[in-house]
Amino acid sequence: MTPLDPNQLPPSAFVFLIATVVKMLAIFTLYMVVVAYTTLAERKVSAWIQDRHGPNRVGPWGLFQVLADGVKNFMKEETMPGDVNKPLFILAPALAFTTAMIAWAVIPFGAPMPTPWGRIDLVVANMPIGFLYVLAITSLGVYGIVLAGWSSNNKYALLGGLRSSAQMISYEIAMGMSTVCVLLMAGNVSLTAIVAQQQATNYNIVLISVAAFIFLVSAFAETNRVPFDLPEAESELIAGYHAEYSGMKFSMFFIAEYANVITASAMFVTLFLGGWDIPFTTWDNTGQATVLKSLATFAMFAFKLYSFVFFFIWIRWTLPRFRYDQLMSLGWKLMLPTALAYIVIVASAVLALDASGIARTSRLFWMAMGAMNLVLVMILFVILDRGRVISPASSRLQRADVQRLRAATDARSTLSPGETH
């Protein structure tokens, strides 16, 4: 029997503790830098879309604009309105910021790295219930927004907080239901196991595209991004739930928003795009672990992650905002029923394939699931919807009603100023 390479063995308890502390510091530092430069990326991409230059005066290509903004926010005066609930007013931005930060702890971002002291997993905490942990922690973020709106003693801030809570509750259910299909495919709630399942078969975005779409829409709603930015609707609520905040407290809400965008992107990549897996090759997940594999898979994860962040930014500067009735109707009348029906269909298909003795890692299994998925996508988007529901500009009026209203408008426009019907 060939002896095991010590680099492939789990580390000792002491090494595990030291490695965990190092990973926490490294990930937190890198996460904050990435969040900061995501704000710059948003300004650059929006400028590109609108044919502008964007930030370009502070440092080469405007790269130091982030540092200038950070110094400005630290030096700005912190205002404290007289009628606020001071403890909760201070707690709210810290709560929103903290929940956005710690959700990253269980997301794997690369293949295990061999060291002289044992194998180090590239995840801060490889929890067996990592998937449930992310859902639980991200659900707590709404408390920071609601507390900010209520403690400000401002009617606009309160309305923003109430809108956000209603919106996040509405779409959180659909998001949770969409991820049940991922659990049915993987048979496990560990994010590492979900990545391994996609490496063995095919990416979930190919096998369960409807669940990926529901998760995608819900992620936009959960992060209060356009077209779901009703809690911050400037034309209606001034600044929404953070209307009374200033200085660094004000900035913490924006840091939390971009952190949630990155976390949602990382979850989408992990659940539906194979995580750190390098597509079209098995080099990264076969054989012994090497440092090169760890670095290559980390680079691939970062590429997938920022591609999805770019999609977030692109949508913001492309689509208009939903009306509030459209937002609620989409969540409760379309997303939730579709997610529930899709769970039943996927569960039935997986159960039938298992009963037929088809292994989940076999080519036949994922070809059958992919064919079923293609049929369901065609039925849902081409036959049932046809652009009538999945569109912010959709109208409830029938064509005959629109023609009648246009005829009435034309008739009024032909009347002289003194004439009436």
Query: What pLDDT sits at residue 75?
Result: 85
Cα angle 340, 220, 102; round to 5: 95
pLDDT, tens digit (0-9, with 9 covering 90-100), for 114-140: 888 888 888 998 888 888 888 888 888
Angle, alpha carbons 201-204-206 (nearest 5°): 90
Q: Are 269 and 305 in contact (CB under 8 A)?
A: yes
Q: How many CB atoms lie within 10 A of CB 126?
A: 16
- Structure confidence at residue 2 as a pLDDT band (50, 70, 90): very low
**For residue 392, what pLDDT is reported?**
47
This prediction's pTM: 0.85
More confident residue, 269 or 401: 269
Q: Is residue 411 part of a domain?
A: no
Cα(321)–Cα(298) distance, rounded to whole angstroms? 35
Q: Judge contact between 235 and 143, C-beta under 8 A.
A: no
Q: How far is the C-alpha of 17 from the C-alpha of 68, rounded, in Å?
A: 36
Residue 421 in domain: no
Confidence class of residue 3 from pLDDT cuts 50, 70 and 90? very low
Within a domain: residue 418? no
3-state secondary structure of 18: helix
Domain boundaries, position 256: 6-111+118-392
Whether residue 215 is contained in a domain is answered as yes
DSSP string, 295-363: HHHHHHHHHHHHHHHHHHHHHHTTSPPPPHHHHHHIIIIIIHHHHHHHHHHHHHHHHHHHHTT--TTSH
Do 124 and 104 touch, CB atoms closer than 8 A?
yes
pLDDT number for residue 233: 63
| Identity of the residue numbered 49 | I
Q: Please indicate, yes or no, if residue 137 is contained in any of the structural domains.
A: yes
Answer whether residue 417 is part of any domain. no
The 10s digit of each residue's pLDDT in 57-77 is 888 888 899 889 888 888 888
415, part of any domain: no
How does the average pLDDT of the chain come out, rounded? 84
How many domains does one find in the chain? 1
> CB–CB of 124/106 below 8 Å?
yes
The whole-number average pLDDT for the span 90-103 is 86
Question: Residue 400: inside a domain, yes or no?
Answer: no
